[in-house]
Amino acid sequence: MATGKSGGGHAGHADLHGNAPDKCELALLLVDVINDLEFEGGERVLKAALPAARALAELKARAVRAGVPCIYANDNFGRWRSDFGAQVRHVLEEGTRGAPVAELLTPSEQDYFVLKVKHSAFYQTCLNLLLEHLGVSTLLIGGFVTESCVNLTANDAYLRGFELFILRDGSASQSASVHRAALQQMEHVLHAKTPSCREISFARRQRGITMRLGSGQAK
């Protein structure tokens, strides 16, 4: 497992637990968006993932401008000798089905990444420690697929006390009905809110970065 800035290090505060110089109560967590989609049913996921990736890309751009950290939590998809950079190159440069999604959500050097080995981004990874160092208490989660890796990551986040916003148009499944059912389950069991990406805006305040939903409620 690896945790850090994608593309390299960053000068700033460092300690024995690594380098996480940003501080923010909010974080955008992108689950398995760098994905070759080369599996049975991948073509159906792609159909839903493309509009989700466009919505996530717009939200991510706003988050970056506001100073909200963006974290990629990505499976290695059986490529055990690869790192996150190798995964990005594989998806983008080898003609994979998932390349159009990765093109919309290509990570920058300012983004964090966590390589995961199971469905949840928390299982046997450094994600919780990274979030602790960033000072995060609220997670905005999007990615693929809703009922599996997004859902299990959200469950583990809930158990750790994070406030959850699952991006309903920034996540996707093989079918719309499965996607909706997974969102409803997270609303009911995890008390998650499920706004669209466009409903979310960010603003800098004296007390830090705030998030505002379309309803006008600030976080």
pTM for the model stands at 0.86
Domain count, the chain: 1
Whether 12 is in a domain gets the answer no
Whether 178 is in a domain gets the answer yes
pLDDT of residue 216: 45
pLDDT of residue 55: 98
- Short-list 62, 29, 31, 34, CA closest to 144: 31
Query: What band does 205 get if pLDDT is binned at 50, 70 and 90?
Result: confident
> Domain with 171 in it: what CATH number?
3.40.50.850
Whether 17 is in a domain gets the answer no
Residue 7 has pLDDT above 70, yes or no: no
pLDDT of residue 136: 96
**122 class by beta-carbon count within 10 Å (0-12 exposed, 13-18 middle, 19+ buried):** buried
- Short-list 147, 209, 168, CA closest to 56: 168
pLDDT of residue 77: 63
Average pLDDT in the chain:
87
Whether 206 is in a domain gets the answer yes
Instruction: Give alpha helix (H) positions in the chain.
Output: 42-66, 84-93, 99-104, 127-134, 151-159, 176-190
Please state whether 81 falls in left (phi above 0), alpha (psi between -120 and 50) or beta: alpha
Tell me the residue range of the domain where 59 lies: 22-212
Whether 51 is in a domain gets the answer yes
Residue 206 has pLDDT above 90, yes or no: no
How far apart (Å, rounded) are the C-alpha atoms in residues 219 and 209? 9
- Short-list 188, 205, 209, CA closest to 28: 209
Whether 86 is in a domain gets the answer yes
Beta carbons of 134 and 23 less than 8 angstroms apart: yes
Beta carbons of 113 and 72 less than 8 angstroms apart: yes
Whether 72 is in a domain gets the answer yes
Whether 160 is in a domain gets the answer yes
